[in-house]
Amino acid sequence: MDHFRNPRNMGEMKDADAVGEVGNPVCGDLMYIYIKVKEDGITEIIDDISFQTFGCAAAIATSSMITELAKGKTLEEAAKITRGNVADSLDGLPPIKLHCSNLAADGLKDAIKKYREKKKI
């Protein structure tokens, strides 16, 4: 409940390097995960991350938690964050709300994918 009542890193990031977008048409949740990546020539680190989520309390809480888990990690480390990591970090979610942790993890992975695609161009 704390991550719902006091979400961390909430809000649109105007100068994001990439934006992940995921949604669930069944429940209507929609998430945007914004990342800013710092490169030092060897590693790419998530220097800043934020989210905008339109959905239920669990969707907001999982979005907040994914930003806390990913901030400061390399892209490789962040890409390995699973829905289980998100749910466990929130001390569990009701079974009917586990799909929200999928959305948060998938949103982060989508942002990383878009960042990597952009770097190839």
56 is catalytic: no
27 flagged as catalytic: yes
Sole residue written with tokens 């991550």: 3
Specify the residue for token string 């680190």.
45
C-alpha to C-alpha distance for 28 and 113, rounded to whole angstroms: 23
Phi, psi of 38 (to 5 degrees): -105, 125
Catalytic residue of the set 22, 35, 78, 100: 100
The one catalytic residue among 10, 23, 27, 74: 27
Catalytic annotation, residues: 27, 100
